[in-house]
Chain A
Amino acid sequence: MAMRWLSRLAAADAVPVFPVVGENGLAAAENLFLDPRLRPVPSPRHARVLLVLGETGQTLNRQLRRLHDQLSHPRATLWCDAVPDPDFGRATESSDTADAVVEAYRSMFAGAMDTEPDIHPNEPPNEWRGKGTNGQGGDGMMGGTPYGRPMAMTDDDLRDGLQLDAYSATFGPFLPAFPPGLALDITLQGDSIQAVSVSHPPFRQETDHSRTGSLRNLARLLRVLGVPALAARFIAAARKLEDGGTIDLDVLARAFDWSGAMHIIPSDLGSFGGEGRDVRSRVRAWLNIARGRQEPAPLGQPALSFVDLVKGLEWYEAVIVLNSFDNNALRNLCPVENTDDQTEEAPQ
């Protein structure tokens, strides 16, 4: 009785959705979450519905299947503008995605739809490779690659030469803070990036250098900067402009100023060659384009590679830098150094 009451109450909540954005799916995903019945969540553990928007390709299928198993039960998967994996989920039309998500969620809690079973057995994805009883494989209690995943091991810090724990893993390709599709092999010491290479570039998205495209870029950055409600307002404004409506961009620009977003980004962060090419200048350009005060200009040939841009930064700084480029510009900056789809660890 109590469980039935709890389920009924839970079913009336906004649906926690973990979006997996594929090719050309980003704008659709952002528009979808303007619907108050849906709620994007940053971790698959928090989601009840896995929503795939756009093709993610065969290369990332293994990571997607593992991501599916990270959702707790009850769970469902919906595929929009993408061919569903035969083992989980079902396709839905892009015109009624929100309704389909809500219906799937409520059906699960009403008992009308079964939760999706695990694809993989609940055991370590790779075989045991540790040396000791506690999983260590290097010196003492640290290092090595037990179960195929590297364990932290002391190494020289880039900044001061102190011996700190270095931890290597693949981050992405479905990490919400990263541009969709981007997967990076990163070695972290603390949250400082010591080494980085690109294992999968961001997916192509529809090119949009217009005012609405700039508003969307600003929204993505604002979400990273911890003001998602303001980001939603920017997305809503972009949507309204795309639908032929009018908005007061000065009000939005003021809200952006009051958030302090421009001031809290360190100057020269993410600078690639020359003055005025850092994160702040890119953000300022988006603001000017959105307000019709500047024409969109190509990014230009970077003097640095993407790896040089991110290496040595703290994690949060690196995420800000990644989100200071539009997806296609970032894609051009990302030479893929590791295309081995047998890479063992892909957390999200």
Chain B
Amino acid sequence: MSMLACVILLLLLIFGTLFAAILDTAIPAWIAGQSGANPLTTPFRRCAQFLAVQRLTTERPDMLNWLLAPAAYLILAGIGLGVVPLSEGLVFIDLQTGLVLWGACEALTVVVVFLHGWSANAPFPLIGAYRYVAIGLPAMLVSMFVVIGVALPAQSLSVSAAVEAQRGLWNIVKQPLGLPLFMLLGLSLTLRGPFDYADPFDLAAGTSAEDSGPLRASWRFARLAMLVSFSTMAATLFLGGHHGPGLPGPLWLALKAAGVMTILVALGHVIARTTPSRMLTLLWVLFLPLSFLDLIIAGVESLP
């Protein structure tokens, strides 16, 4: 069973990443009103372009961490995806504390992004790194309360139990604040649009500014893989996971995850990014209290 889950998981990761790369080409081109680049072939061409060029390093980089950061980012995406039930009784990492493991993946992502910026030994990557930590930590805090809100009615920290608790009605209806707040974390975990404080244009691509060649390809792949992982988790926690009529559970999950992913990519390309200090204020003064409210709603819902 877990072998089947592993195969489905790998397929989900590979095809999900490809789908994310296609979206990342198609949506900005559509917004810009440009035509010409084929979104179906561009991800392959881009990947080949990254791989076919020389990898340059900086002076005295922390080479080990530079290489490990994308690998660790990818592994975290994989582990996060591993706790998601693909259908009834089909889950690769069947933990009673699956939500805690997901939370650990969120927290470690902040560490990994910091390491990526740190290791190049250059100013822009380093600024991007600690700027990301400043924003990533409170964003994670918001998500923790939202995830606890999901665990409350399920009366369990198991992701499977959270899916089961949505058999009658999805959490997006029962806890309307949950998904929008959780999406903020998605933007932060995948370094996108209004939460891309790690690799932004003003820092000449921030933590990625010194990446070249295969290193750049691996970082890009890991970012997209995390997008797949997050979207699948969001679909699981708020859109009923694999539940749905007619189609097999994994297909329902993939469709819901694709929907979340499309919204995330679109948001990343249309919403402008505010200053870090203003974003910090928003996180602490607006989003964190909203996550408390979400928790209260979840608590009321859980009352017998």
Contacts and interface: CB of A to CB of B under 8 A. Distances in A.
Contact of B273 (A233, A258, A264): A264
Contact of B48 (A10, A37, A48, A147): A10
Contact of B212 (A72, A124, A176, A224): A72
A107 B42 CA distance: 19
Given A12-B41, A317-B275, A226 B200 contact: yes
B272 A227 contact: yes
Nearest to A13: B45
Contacts of A225: 272-273
Contacts of A260: 194, 271-272, 274
Interface in A174-197: 175-177, 188, 190-191
A43 B210 contact: yes
A177 B202 contact: yes
B275 A266 contact: yes
Contacts of A131: none
B123 A347 contact: yes
B53 A73 contact: yes
Contacts of A347: 123
Given A229-B32, A233-B33, A177 B52 contact: no
Interface string A245-285: 00000000001001111001110010000000000000000
Interface stretch (B2-10, B54-62, B255-263): B54-62
Nearest to A3: B52
Interface string B122-161: 0100010011000000000000000000000000000000
B269 interface: yes
Q: Is the interface on chain A under 10, 10 to 19, 20 to 34, or 35 or more residues?
A: 35 or more
Contact of A45 (B28, B211, B271): B211
Contact of B275 (A42, A46, A228, A314): A314
A291 B56 CA distance: 46
A260 B269 CA distance: 12
B194 A226 contact: yes
Contact of B272 (A109, A169, A226): A226
B168 to A, nearest CB: 35
Contacts of B44: 9
Contacts of B241: none
Interface in A1-55: 3, 6-7, 9-10, 12-14, 16, 34-37, 41-43, 45-46, 48
A128 interface: no
Given A42-B205, A43-B208, A260-B271, A315 B127 contact: yes
Contacts of B270: 227, 229-230, 255, 258-259
B37 interface: yes
Contacts of A329: none
A279 to B, nearest CB: 11
A3 B213 CA distance: 14
A226 B271 CA distance: 8
B243 to A, nearest CB: 33
Given A9-B49, A13-B45, A232-B34, 5 more contacts: A9-B45, A177-B202, A188-B123, A230-B31, A233-B32
The 6 A-B pairs at the shortest CB distance, nearest first, are namely: A36-B36, A264-B274, A9-B48, A229-B28, A13-B45, A232-B32
10 contacts: A9-B48, A10-B53, A42-B205, A72-B213, A147-B59, A222-B272, A226-B196, A236-B34, A260-B272, A315-B127
